[in-house]
Structure 1
């Protein structure tokens, strides 16, 4: 069910909820570029009938209003407002890829509301002490984030036409990335269910503009406004050892700085293997 959520500052977010109305609430944060339609494969409700799922398009994606200059930490206030609008009290958070840092920010900044958090193939903070942020990262992402860091206006000029192309043909982005994908990721994307989910996700994410994609990119290149070490609740970190989009060094940094986390590193898995890992994470949340 699609819901419009009005915020105190006048912005509007587009949210979605599904699953068991009286189940355990779990907020799913989408990746980059992404939308509420790309957070889970279609059989998730059948496999986890005890969960009430909800999600929302981050500002600038889909039909959610933009919030220029937003930080990763700002997701906490937005998540808080979405939960209020849906009548959700306490909830768990799960974020995949670009959604991972946003899930961790919610856990750090909403300790009285977030019961547990999971970060799948997520990025560590750009200002993480001792972290070589680019080590092991695919050249595509290195170029993208370097441009975000040094010339945001040039990145905006690049992303606007690309977003329009990808909205018309969502499979285009996957084809552009193919040369950088390890065999493990190519195998996952050969799964019809996964490819359909990814395509629907990109189409909705870039429905109106590239603003969300741009603002996510800029947010990841500046201080996030939250400290992972401040998270006191249960945390699961899940990562593929062959990930070249969110390199494994990010996983090790987060595991070191969230010392009480359950850290799972999957040999032979890449970035897109996280599509399958959600079920494992939801079982962990229930346990």
Structure 2
């Protein structure tokens, strides 16, 4: 294979075997793909023959992804504050989450950490696990083991399949994340019942200890437990602790959370399924949210405590091929607008406002263009712009090249995106850490573990059924818009951060002047003002609805 290099003074010598080798390195090392992307900027892709190698690398990653999903703990619980891991018959530990690693480090008498991984070194704990590894033990059998530690810590050992056990480690750190308001909204527990539950999740081995710690009698504690079991729909104390510590109650630092059953779906006229989520006040003013590329309708879990009582009914639909929405090959923004119009008809919504972030911006503008009679106002944070509008100076090279590939070499872009997405799926923490290094200082200041957990969860949901929707969603940002923004009559506000490194503020300001019905609103912040100014944007939409 002969690689055709463009004439470029900055182009370093690179033979075909080195480049092909780098392609396959990307299938197992997520840190390599930015380097590959930068090199593709100097390659004549039409004659390079790289497409077949990128396709094979993607196939390797697909196989690895299926194996990980089959044999590991789901990534959706990776950010839970409780320790979760799988104990193997040889007393080694696999598929552990970060919380388990932290607990293992804090308890060297029970766990040994080496280059090869984590192993169980305490004889009593090992014997307890072996009992659950016996072939005669039926699945879902469980017992509790108390660690002799400065912090009350207990391990729930549960048989999941022959020879393997799941370990769930509960400690005071996890219990501190549970709030009475969350338990009330999720399970209907009273403040007194919530205090008892928190103490049991705190590592207390018995009802007696929990009663003593909460200042009630044992009889009162037993009576409350019976009521709690009914409300939480469990039969034992072990099941209760497990249910609480794996619920969304521990994902909040403060404030109430909404039930996890906020996702719904409808079937469209062509038979496709459209998934959507609904949060906030059911009787509030409807706001249709358009998520960015790589996200889905599940993005809002970490901001839900701002919605109850806000007067806002927030609705987000996953676009085709994203989440559980059926894929549609080469869908357009107009077709997405038609899907949203069908959703509004189903929900009996006659008018709404629109909220969007980044790549979701053009979809919101398309809906305002095609269905102006349904829209009151549009608020877009960090919106991308039409292809060729403004200059690219200061834009990150990797993003610029990916957009260029999406437009000029769609097949290569598709295969490369497949490699990129599989690598993000393999190690989302590594990807987010790298993105944070490239972020502006203001963006770095607002990023929290809670935000990362919500973004990661939304990403995994987005690619849970197929990668095709997310790949095409990104490619659309490189193509010409199929509508004329100049003709939009609906009021539009472009919210933009002065420190945005992804999309230059001056370009967005210029674009807002191009649309007669638009205004530009610059705020302190970077690309992530959608998160830092979430409440302000919703309030601006709500106030507009009240005035009308």
Q: How does 1:37-48 map to 2 (within 5 A)?
A: 37-39=298-300, 41-46=303-308
**Number of the residue aligned with 2:492:** 235
Q: Does 1:82 align with 2:82?
A: no
**Number of the residue aligned with 2:314:** 53
RCO greater where, 1 or 2, for CA within 8 Å and sep 6 or more?
A: 1
C-alpha distance in 2 between matches for 1:54 and 1:256 = 29
**Number of the residue aligned with 1:156:** 414
Q: Secondary structure at the match of 1:3?
A: strand
Contact 2:321 2:470 in 1 (8 A): yes
**Number of the residue aligned with 1:244:** 501
Contact 2:513 2:519 in 1 (8 A): no
Shift of 1:39: 4.6
**Number of the residue aligned with 1:280:** 536
Contact 1:93 1:117 in 2 (8 A): yes
**Number of the residue aligned with 1:215:** 472
**Number of the residue aligned with 1:266:** 523
C-alpha distance in 2 between matches for 1:136 and 1:156 = 25
**Number of the residue aligned with 1:97:** 358
**Number of the residue aligned with 2:460:** 203
Shift of 1:45: 0.9
Question: What is the aligned length?
Answer: 281
Compared CA separation, residues 44 and 75, structure 1 to 2 (3 A): farther
Runs of 5+ unmatched residues, structure 2: 1-261, 544-548
**Number of the residue aligned with 1:13:** 274
Q: Secondary structure at the match of 2:533?
A: helix
CA offsets per residue over residues 111-139 of structure 1, 9 Å max, x none? 111111111101111154xx33x333211
C-alpha distance in 2 between matches for 1:34 and 1:200 = 9
Stretch of structure 1 that moved more, 241-250 or 108-117: 241-250
C-alpha distance in 2 between matches for 1:221 and 1:136 = 18
C-alpha distance in 1 between matches for 2:292 and 2:352 = 19
Shift of 1:168: 4.3
**Number of the residue aligned with 2:513:** 256
Moved over 4 A (4+): none
Contact 1:17 1:54 in 2 (8 A): yes
The one of 371, 379, 393 equivalent to 1:135 is 393
C-alpha distance in 2 between matches for 1:39 and 1:108 = 26
Stretch of structure 1 that moved more, 29-38 or 78-87: 78-87
Contact 1:29 1:39 in 2 (8 A): no
Shift of 1:56: 0.8
Shift of 1:246: 2.4
Contact 1:125 1:223 in 2 (8 A): yes
Contact 2:285 2:312 in 1 (8 A): yes
**TM-score, normalisation: structure 2:** 0.49
C-alpha distance in 1 between matches for 2:440 and 2:332 = 31
Shift of 1:258: 2.0
C-alpha distance in 2 between matches for 1:184 and 1:283 = 22
C-alpha distance in 1 between matches for 2:300 and 2:365 = 16
Q: Does 1:175 align with 2:433?
A: yes
Q: Secondary structure at the match of 2:286?
A: strand
C-alpha distance in 1 between matches for 2:523 and 2:508 = 11
Q: Secondary structure at the match of 1:112?
A: helix
**Number of the residue aligned with 1:32:** 293
CA offsets per residue over residues 65-90 of structure 1, 9 Å max, x none? 22222223332111111212222221
Contact 2:406 2:413 in 1 (8 A): yes
C-alpha distance in 2 between matches for 1:161 and 1:94 = 31
C-alpha distance in 2 between matches for 1:3 and 1:175 = 32
Q: Does 1:185 align with 2:471?
A: no
Compared CA separation, residues 37 and 147, structure 1 to 2 (3 A): same
Q: RMSD value over aligned CA atoms?
A: 1.9
**TM-score, normalisation: structure 1:** 0.90
Runs of 5+ unmatched residues, structure 1: none
Stretch of structure 1 that moved more, 249-258 or 75-84: 249-258
Contact 2:322 2:465 in 1 (8 A): yes
C-alpha distance in 1 between matches for 2:419 and 2:466 = 9
**Number of the residue aligned with 1:109:** 370
Shift of 1:155: 1.6
Q: Does 1:3 align with 2:264?
A: yes
